[in-house]
Structure 1
Amino acid sequence: MPQSLLIISRQSPWSGPSAREALDIALAGGAFDLPVGMLFLDDGVLQLASAQDASQLQQKDLTANLQALSMFGVDDLFACTASLAERGMLPSALSVEPLQVLSDQEMAALIDRYDQVITI
């Protein structure tokens, strides 16, 4: 039985390559039928904002990668309630579905469910 993997993405989409690397790991894991989940935490929730224009920063938009997750079998997507609230983001206005918004206690239980956890 393949081990499950949770990727915790904590970086904004514009702070460097970390956000893209987290998505690439998730897509690669999904391509090999590995049970993969993604948790967006801290500035990582900014990846979920709708209508981003990365061209002004001369970076590639991550929206297509986020939407491709489900095509690769990565359907377990989570976001931290507190991280969203701290940034004034409403779950109803995010670009990714289905997305489960979790409290701190729920995140602790989530992390315990996975065999491997990577924080990027």
Structure 2
Amino acid sequence: MARSLLIVSRQAPWSGPGAREALDIVLAGGAYDLPVGLLFMDDGVFQLLPQQNASALQQKDLTANLKALSIFGVEDLHVCGQSLKERGMSQDALDADINHLSEKSELSALMDRYDQVITI
């Protein structure tokens, strides 16, 4: 039986390689039929905003990678409601169909469902 994996993406898309690395791990896991989920929290929630201009920072846009998740069988996507609130964002502004976790108990329950959790 395949072990399940939750990736917690905590970095903004423009703050370094962490956001890209998190997506690469999730896509690779999905390609090998590993049960994998992705949780955006802290500055990682900025990855979900539409119409980002990555070229202004001479970086590659992550939007295509996010849209490819379902192609790779990754359907278990979550966002931390507290992180959204702290950054003045609402779920309506996000560019993804994603499960909103508003309580700490929901975050704990999500992490308990997976065999391994990696925070990037």
Q: TM-score, normalised by structure 1?
A: 0.97
Give matches, 1:64-75, under 5 Å: 64-75=64-75
Which residues of structure 2 form unaligned runs of 5+? none
Letter in 2 for 1:101: H
Determine the structure 2 residue equivalent to 1:95. 95
Letter in 2 for 1:3: R
Which residues of structure 1 form unaligned runs of 5+? none
Determine the structure 1 residue equivalent to 2:28. 28
Determine the structure 2 residue equivalent to 1:49. 49
Q: Which runs of 4+ in 1 moved over 4 A?
A: none
Determine the structure 2 residue equivalent to 1:107. 107
Q: Distance in 2 between matches of 1:67 and 1:80?
A: 19
Q: Distance in 1 between matches of 2:95 and 2:63?
A: 8
Q: Distance in 1 between matches of 2:17 and 2:67?
A: 18
Letter in 2 for 1:119: T
Letter in 2 for 1:100: N
| Superposition deviation, residue 49 in structure 1 | 0.6
User: Share of identical aligned residues, percent?
Assistant: 68
Q: Distance in 2 between matches of 1:59 and 1:8?
A: 21
Letter in 1 for 2:26: A
Q: How many residues align?
A: 119
Q: Check if 1:37 corresponds to 2:37.
A: yes
Q: Deviations over 1:56-98 (max 9, x none)?
A: 000011000000001000100000000001111110111111x
Q: Distance in 2 between matches of 1:79 and 1:104?
A: 12
Letter in 1 for 2:99: Q
